Structure 1
Amino acid sequence: MITKPIIPLFIVIPLLIIILIIYIFNLVKKEDRYLYKILGVLRITVILVLAFLVNLRIMEKKYNATIEMKNLDVLFVVDTTISMWAEDYNNKDPRMEGVLADTEYIIDELSGSNFGLIRFDNRGQILAPFTQDQETVKDAFSTIKMPDRYYAKGSSLNNCYDDLKTLLDSSNKKTERMTVLFFISDGEITDGSTLRSFKELEPLIDTGAVLGYGTENGGKMKDTYGGYIKDSSTGKDALSILDENNLKKVASDMDIEYIHMKSTANVKYMVESIKNGSSLTLEKADSVSYEDTYYVYAAILLAFLVLEVVLFIRRGRL
């Protein structure tokens, strides 16, 4: 059994205690029979406890649950250089906010697939090897943070290559599975290197897309200290500019589409195409899944609230 509170407990608990105190204080001041006061306190206590349990969102373990399985290995490769926090997604938001929203949409839509995650800046790193546990992959995405500007050493799309090939090789060892790649970047190369060829990886990929984030006008970048990063040559705010030529070259090498991402809607047709081309099976899972139980407490809570309304109508007060 686990819990996943809807509202943080440090907010809910004091709030419920305050409500109980106010209710009891008002009840004590009323001229009413002692028994009615006791019953009133008991009812409000039960209601508040039930509200607490609903918010607590208790989830029970389920073993060997029947789950949907798609024949897809979906690999995300995400550029996590500081330029991916440039503020030009939807013309105002950090690019990485768009990345996190768009990848969550893809994961949810392709539920039942195996997912993997690679990040890269001045080096590559496998954050999640292929797994069907969506929460594990989402948790891996949540660990992505803006790098310190003093840590940043320039960026290159080449830095993910070795890890990318490793996971693509792993996927291709499986039979009757489609390998899907989403390569996510703004295309900037700032370490002076030349973009290498990704052509060797093309036979390992069935479908997917290079997702480009950024604009031709560029976006300013806040650093981890709150200010905007300056261009050392001009003293003005530095701009990160989308390099579509690099991204289109990577997409062409791997024979997948290039999509300029302005909103989640830009990738929906691709996701639908992948879903339509996949097969679905129902299997018994050896892993543990969790089932919500809050609705049980919510039903009882609703019954008590209805009772309070009835008493209010009949007696003219709570």
Structure 2
Amino acid sequence: MSARAVVPVVVVLLTALPVLALCVGQALRASGRRGAPGAPGAPAGTWWRRTALVVVLAVVALTPTVAATQSGGARVGVQVWFVVDRTGSMAAEDWGPGDPVVRGPGLPAVPAVQRLDGVRHDVVQLTRDVPGAFYSVVAFADEAGTQLPLTDDATAVRSWAQTVTQEVTAGSAGTRRDRALEVLQRSLQDAQDRDPGMVRLVFYLSDGEQTADEEPGSFTAIAPLVDGGAVLGYGTAAGAPMRQHDGSLDPDAPYIPDPQDPSRPALSHADEAALREVAAELGVPYVHRDGPTPTADLVADVDVAAIAADGRADLSTHRDLVWPFALVAGVLLAAEAWAWTRSSSRLRGRR
């Protein structure tokens, strides 16, 4: 049991304590006068009854409540998070069905389609595969941030996906696959607190490459907040060059040079082992994406009703428990009125 305190506790205490002290004092004094013939004043029983009335009214003012559970009271649906890698390596041109291109001696012949094009395709397709859901986009490069808060506007998600670009090359500060972890955890926790009945899916889209020296953090801590989804991997182990990006949309921008040999373009190598590790930590499957194939099978096993049957849709509430105390207060007030009526009748009789 707890108190909802419709009347502020301070007000209740400032009002009830002085009256309570008066009633108790009068009751003790009346008890001391017991047996004295003709002793003036109300008897001790009257004052103890008034003491009880003050206590009960104070409890009513504090509004006691008890916890209650409303079965199926929380709204049920699907919330989808797209965690998108926007680092420079996602511009590597080794994804999809593009015509193979040989860019120089010793460089692999690869499709001239960026990994980020694969991300664009998959985000749009997954949005269509999970209609009527709420969607959020968290993107990361040199830092992470929420690009799109939870919204039921699928058009906004598709518009974002179709216009997303890699980070500006000059501002790159190294790649960390856990860069979005803190932002994602906060977003998932807020969503669970606000809508506990929802089913939460997370799709992590990246090539898994890490160039920063720090040890990446684990996604294990947020696994209890995730009901499904997948880690989607892009790129090849052989690697591919990446074009520089200065904020403009120049398709013929120069390639990022190799730090060891500036005369050659740098190659980015996808790290599927790292992506499988992220998938294991999240408790979702890993899927390598090498072309614009359907994505419906990634959400085919999502059964909202079955997942919500774990009790998450039960809404925890509090029910006021005022009536027993109000009933006692009514009885005490009735007794007080009856005693006052008797006393008044005696006074009139003596006159």
Name the one with the larger strand percent: 1
In 2, Cα distance between the equivalents of 1:111 and 1:266? 15
- Correspondence for 1:254 among 282, 291, 299: 282
Partner of 1:278: 304
- Alpha carbons 2:88, 2:172 under 8 Å: kept: yes
| 1:202 and 2:223 correspond | yes
**What's 1:102 paired with?**
122
Q: Is the 8 A contact 1:260 1:266 kept in 2?
A: no
- CA–CA distance in structure 1, aligned partners of residues 215 and 163 of structure 2: 29
Match of 2:152 among 116, 124, 132: 132
Which of 117, 134, 147 is 1:114 aligned to?
134
Counterpart-to-counterpart distance in 2, 1:241 and 1:195? 18
Q: Is the 8 A contact 2:76 2:197 kept in 1?
A: no
Counterpart in the other structure of 2:85: 79
Distance 1:144 1:114, change over 3 A: same
Native 8 Å contact 2:76 2:199 kept in 1: no
Deviations 1:173-196 (A, max 9, x none): 213211000001111111212121
Counterpart AA for 1:227: P
| Structure 1 match to 2:68 | none
Q: Which residue of 1 aligns with 2:67?
A: none
RMSD: 1.9
What secondary structure sits across from 1:76 in the alignment? strand
Aligned positions of 1:31-46 closer than 5 A: none
The residue number in structure 2 matching 1:32 is none
Q: Secondary structure at the match of 1:184?
A: strand
Counterpart Cα distance in 1 of 2:147 and 2:266 = 29
Determine if contact 1:259/1:266 at 8 Å carries over to the other structure: no
Q: Structure 1 residues 266, 249: CA separation in 2 closer, same or farther (over 3 Å shift)?
A: farther
Hey, which bits of structure 1, 4+ residues long, moved more than 3 A?
Answer: none
Residue 6 of structure 2 is matched in structure 1 by none
Where 2:171 maps in the other structure, the secondary structure is coil
Does 1:240 pair with 2:260?
Answer: no
Question: What corresponds to 2:50 in structure 1?
Answer: none
**Offset at residue 70 of structure 1 (A):** 7.6
**CA 266–240 in structure 1, closer or farther in 2 if over 3 Å, else same:** farther
The two structures have a TM-score, normalised by structure 1, of 0.63
Matched, 1:230 2:257: yes
Determine if the alignment matches structure 1 residue 158 to structure 2 residue 164. Answer: no
User: Any residues of structure 2 matched to 1:48-63 within 5 Å, and which?
Assistant: none
Render the CA deviation track for 1:240-288: whole Å, top value 9, x for unaligned: 10111211111111111111111243633112223xx135xxxxxxxxx
Q: What is the CA-CA distance between 1:165 and the residue it aligns to?
A: 0.4
How far residue 102 of structure 1 moved from its aligned partner, in angstroms, is: 1.1
Q: For the residues of structure 2 that align with 1:251 and 1:165, how far apart are their CA atoms?
A: 15
Which runs of 5 or more structure 2 residues have no equivalent in the other structure?
1-74, 97-109, 306-351
Between structure 1 and structure 2, the one with the greater Rg is 2
Write the letter of the residue equivalent to 1:233: Q
Paired residues of 1:70 and 1:113 also in contact (CA < 8 A): no
Q: How many residues align?
A: 210
State the 1:142 CA deviation.
3.9
Say which SS state the counterpart of residue 205 (structure 2) adopts: strand
**Alpha-carbon separation, structure 1, partners of 2:76 and 2:291:** 26
1:183 maps to which residue?
204
Tell me, what secondary structure is at the counterpart of 1:187? Answer: coil
Structure 2 Cα separation of the partners of residues 128 and 113 of structure 1: 14
Distance in 2 separating the partners of 1:177 and 1:253: 21
Q: Gaps spanning 5+ residues in structure 1: where?
A: 1-68, 280-318
**TM-score w.r.t. length of structure 2:** 0.57
